[in-house]
């Protein structure tokens, strides 16, 4: 870092943005309100966003300085660029801030007053809250010393959260409502004194993701400065959203950052580094098992069920549980387990994109039956009884079906099917549009219980009384005014508040959110998550996948918050093996449809569509698939000029370069015309990023088994 210029301003705020324009705008609005009356400058460094972040935000905030980078440099390097600009302007304090935050109106003044009164403090952080008002543990931490790392990696911290000895890393033994010196604070909000920043030279750019904030705090303390956690002001940090919007392997990068930090600052202990690597490997494996625990759990349960079915079948057919020769054990158990596992996978079960299904389990067991029957012809010494095999598969079908029924019932009893109670702030067409997207009435018509209930509208004007009706184009009632937001949330037990109002100043809305999110009472209270309407396009797309196709393990949109995301992980369809599988699927499918399936193609539509032009168009679509111009299952075409908030041409063309427009696809499991361009873009990107034959099969099965035949058909 160069020496700072003479002081000309008190605070310079540096924000690194990457593909989160909606949250950036909200953050800037709250920040400007908090900086009122303080000599300051806001610098936004954009890490080559593809969502039009700067073009969207720059006209709204003409006083903010925007720096466009030619590529994604990552969190540390991009922040260092902003730091240099801030120091050249002579800023007395530099705030490193993530764009996925909402700042309280008093935050800047509280931080400034504290730092002025504490000249020995080089860096301070404040209380960070989740979107529902809960406390974020990582906003004040201890350094990952050998002992703290051991306790974190091997789970001692989780077992003894109130112990100063075992909970050193997350400091869970300390009160969140007290101010004290700490080892480190979170990089989402770091209020840094210029002298301290100049001495350490900014972030260490060796850190790819995570850990750079810990390293910066470590070096600041090495230079004799104190670091403070200040509880008297708080901000909202949408921390959980970053992994949803990016393809971040959070587990991998977190533990890699911990290892880099330990090697850099505690590298003299080789034994410690060895144990740390072993712990990281074990903890990462457990984390992945936890991520796929349902899939792994069902696979193990099915293996046990089929082996139990074989023992029951042996008893029924032969009168003994262990009816096979002694040499057959445990070989038959191992072989049956492997064949069933592979057959289930071939039948589409254990996919990360869908819940366990009786239908797919039945298909897998049918494959198992033929596979096991074939094996007995090659291994005559194991051809004990076709009857036992038949009974094994039959009983296995019953047991695996019962497992899935029990799991479904348990999920409902545990609240997995509990509805989300939603309210809107704003009386406009955007509210009506989102009500249609939530699609509550139609959910019941397709045989699924609705998971969303729109309770009503919260007005921003003062002349509307509770229980009035909203305007004619919005078909939900008014339930109150924003002045009573906290009381409305508690009265109606609202889970999500979606903000569509564009007339009300964002700073005022943000302040209402802060007041509602910060629970000042000792009593437990109902908490709600707040989202802006533009951001909700991501949520809508995610829930379409979850509702019709299954659980999402991936994420939407191409980037993470604050530039802290790494460069985008390559899409599956960018890899040759997936493209080859996709093309083979299209060719085989097109040939099948043009030969055996041609009568179905012609006769599928009602009588009024049986005309020469329709048949030619439908056949031409299949021919286009065969020639590689389209795909059987693929992307949905988007009018990128539809609205100002439409996807960018660059992103859309990039997706089209990897995938093709499909005759059907992920968007078709909903009604595409009811989805915004951004939601359609998110669905397209999810498909390209997470493509697999499993995903194609799940989409086809979903479309085939839809109960409501009055829904709109896939486009032709």
Q: The dihedral of CA 606, 612, 613, 615: what is its sign? A: positive
Question: What average pLDDT does this structure show over 413-431?
Answer: 72
pLDDT at site 411 = 65
Comparing 286 with 143, which gets the higher pLDDT? Answer: 143
Residue 181: pLDDT over 90: yes
Best-predicted range by mean pLDDT (223-232, 322-331, 591-600): 223-232
Output 357 or 329, whichever has higher pLDDT: 329
Specify the DSSP class assigned to residue 562: G
Q: Say which residues have a Cβ less than 8 Å from residue 148's Cβ, sequence separation at least 6.
A: 142, 168, 169
511 pLDDT exceeds 80?
no
Please report the pLDDT score of residue 318 as a whole number. 85
Mean pLDDT calculated for residue range 165-172: 87
Q: Report pLDDT for 691.
A: 86
Q: What is the pLDDT of residue 652?
A: 75
pLDDT of residue 225 exceeding 90 = yes
- Grouping H, G, I as helix, E, B as strand and the rest as coil, residue 709 is coil
The predicted-structure confidence for 4-40, as pLDDT tens digits, reads as follows 544 468 999 999 988 787 788 889 988 998 999 999 9
pLDDT at 555 over 50: no
Please state the pTM of the whole predicted model: 0.61
pLDDT per position as a tens digit, 305-352: 999 999 998 899 888 888 888 888 888 899 989 999 988 888 778 876
Judged by average pLDDT, the poorest of 37-46, 123-132, 292-301, 428-437 is 428-437
- Give the residue with greater pLDDT, 336 vs 429: 336
Mean pLDDT is highest, among 20-24, 466-470, 523-527, for 20-24
Sign for the CA dihedral angle at 614, 620, 622, 628 comes to: negative
Residue 565 has pLDDT above 80, yes or no: no
Two tokens, residue 227: 């670091």
pLDDT in the model for residue 524: 46
Residue 379 structure tokens: 């291994």
Q: Tell me, what's the pLDDT at 562? A: 40
Q: State what percent of residues in the chain have pLDDT above 70.
A: 69
Whose CA is closest to 203, among 192, 212, 191?
212
Mean of per-residue pLDDT scores for the chain: 77
Could you give the 3-state DSSP secondary structure of residue 347? coil
pLDDT given at position 127: 93
Between CA 392 and CA 663 the distance in angstroms is 41
Scan for tokens 């009588």, then name that residue: 607
Write down the pLDDT at residue 338. 92
Those residues with Cβ within 8 angstroms of residue 468's Cβ, 6 or more apart along the chain or in another chain: 477, 478
- Tens of pLDDT, residue by residue over 88-109, are 989 999 999 999 898 988 999 9
CB 403 within 8 A of CB 477: no
Which one has a higher pLDDT value, 42 or 462?
A: 42
Task: Read off the pLDDT of each residue in 40-62 and give the average, rounded to a whole number.
Answer: 88
Local confidence band at 466 (pLDDT 50, 70, 90 cut-offs): very low
pLDDT of residue 230: 95
Q: Cα dihedral angle (695, 696, 700, 702), rounded to 10 degrees?
A: 10
Could you give the residue ranges of the DSSP H alpha helices within 379-438?
386-413, 429-438
Average pLDDT of the segment spanning 558-571: 43
Strands 40-46 and 9-17: parallel
Which pLDDT belongs to residue 556? 39
Q: pLDDT band at 64, cuts 50/70/90?
A: very high
Which domains does the chain show, CATH number per domain?
293-404 (no CATH), 420-527 (3.40.50.720), 572-704 (no CATH)
User: How far is it, in rounded angstroms, from Cα 636 to Cα 672?
Assistant: 8
Tens digit of pLDDT for each residue in 618-633? Answer: 788 888 999 899 999 9
53-67, 182-196, 454-468, 655-669: range with lowest mean pLDDT: 454-468
Buried b (16+ CB within 10 A) or exposed e, 258-290: bbbbbeebbeeeeebbebbeebbeebbeeeeee
């Amino acid at each position: 870092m160069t020496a700072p210029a003479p002081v000309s301003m008190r605070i310079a705020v540096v924000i690194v943005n990457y593909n989160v324009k909606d949250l950036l705008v909200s953050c800037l609005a709250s920040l400007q309100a908090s900086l009122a009356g303080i000599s300051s400058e806001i610098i936004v460094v954009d890490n080559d966003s593809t969502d039009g972040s700067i073009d969207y935000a720059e006209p709204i905030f003409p006083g903010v300085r925007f720096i466009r980078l030619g590529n994604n440099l990552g969190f540390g390097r991009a922040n260092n660029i902003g730091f240099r600009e801030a120091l050249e302007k002579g800023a007395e304090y530099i705030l490193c801030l993530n764009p996925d935050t909402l700042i309280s109106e008093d935050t800047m003044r509280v931080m400034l007053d504290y730092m002025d009164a504490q000249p020995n403090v080089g860096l301070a952080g404040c209380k960070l809250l989740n979107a529902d008002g809960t406390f974020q543990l990582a906003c004040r931490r201890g350094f990952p010393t050998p002992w703290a790392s051991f306790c974190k990696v091997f789970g001692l911290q989780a077992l003894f959260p109130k112990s100063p000895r075992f909970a050193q890393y997350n400091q869970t033994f300390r009160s969140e409502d007290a101010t004290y010196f700490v080892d480190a604070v979170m990089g989402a909000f770091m209020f840094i004194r210029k002298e301290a920043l100049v001495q350490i030279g900014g972030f260490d750019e060796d850190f790819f993701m995570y850990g750079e904030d810990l390293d910066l705090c470590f070096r600041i303390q090495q230079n004799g400065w104190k670091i403070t956690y200040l509880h008297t002001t708080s901000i909202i940090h949408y921390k959980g959203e970053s992994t949803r919007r990016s393809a971040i392997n959070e587990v991998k990068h977190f533990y890699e950052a911990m290892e880099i930090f330990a090697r850099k600052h505690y590298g003299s202990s080789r034994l410690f580094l060895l144990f740390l690597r072993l712990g990281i490997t074990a903890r990462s494996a457990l984390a992945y098992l936890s991520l796929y625990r349902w899939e792994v759990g069902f696979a193990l349960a099915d293996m046990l069920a089929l082996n139990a079915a074989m023992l029951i079948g042996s008893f029924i057919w032969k009168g003994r549980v262990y009816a096979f020769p002694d040499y057959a054990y445990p070989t038959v158990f191992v072989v049956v387990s492997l064949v069933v596992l592979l057959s289930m996978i071939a039948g589409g079960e254990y996919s990360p994109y869908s819940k366990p299904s009786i239908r797919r389990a039945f298909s897998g067991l049918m494959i198992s039956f033929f596979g096991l029957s074939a094996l007995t012809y090659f291994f005559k010494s194991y051809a004990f009884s076709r009857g036992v095999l038949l009974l094994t598969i039959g009983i296995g079908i019953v047991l695996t079906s019962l497992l899935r029924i029990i799991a479904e019932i348990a999920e409902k009893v545990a609240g997995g099917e509990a509805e989300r109670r939603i309210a809107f702030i704003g009386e406009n067409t955007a509210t009506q549009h989102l009500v249609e997207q939530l699609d509550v009435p139609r959910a019941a018509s397709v045989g699924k219980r609705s998971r969303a209930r729109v309770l009503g509208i919260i007005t921003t004007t003062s002349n509307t009384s509770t229980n009035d009706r909203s305007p004619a184009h919005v078909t939900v009632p008014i339930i109150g005014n924003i002045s009573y937001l906290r009381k409305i949330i508690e009265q109606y037990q609202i889970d999500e508040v979606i903000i569509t109002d564009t007339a009300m100043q964002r700073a005022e809305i943000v302040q209402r959110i802060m007041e509602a999110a910060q629970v000042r009472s000792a009593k437990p209270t109902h908490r709600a998550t707040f989202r802006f309407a533009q951001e909700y396009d991501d949520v809508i797309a995610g829930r379409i996948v979850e509702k019709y196709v299954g659980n999402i393990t991936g994420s939407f949109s191409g980037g993470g918050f604050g530039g802290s995301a790494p460069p985008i992980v390559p899409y599956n369809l960018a890899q040759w093996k997936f493209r080859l599988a996709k093309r083979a699927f299209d060719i085989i499918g097109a040939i099948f449809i043009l030969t055996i399936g041609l009568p179905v193609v012609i006769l599928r539509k009602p009588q009024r569509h049986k005309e020469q032009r329709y048949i030619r168009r439908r056949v031409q679509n299949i021919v286009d698939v065969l020639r590689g111009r389209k795909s059987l299952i693929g992307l949905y075409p988007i009018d990128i000029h539809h609205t100002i908030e439409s996807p960018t041409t660059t992103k859309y063309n990039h997706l089209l370069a990897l995938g093709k427009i499909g005759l059907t696809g992920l968007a078709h499991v909903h009604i595409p015309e009811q989805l915004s361009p951004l939601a359609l873009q998110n669905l397209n990107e999810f498909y390209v990023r997470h493509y697999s034959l499993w995903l194609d099969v799940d989409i086809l099965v979903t479309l085939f088994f839809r109960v409501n035949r009055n829904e709109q058909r896939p486009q032709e």
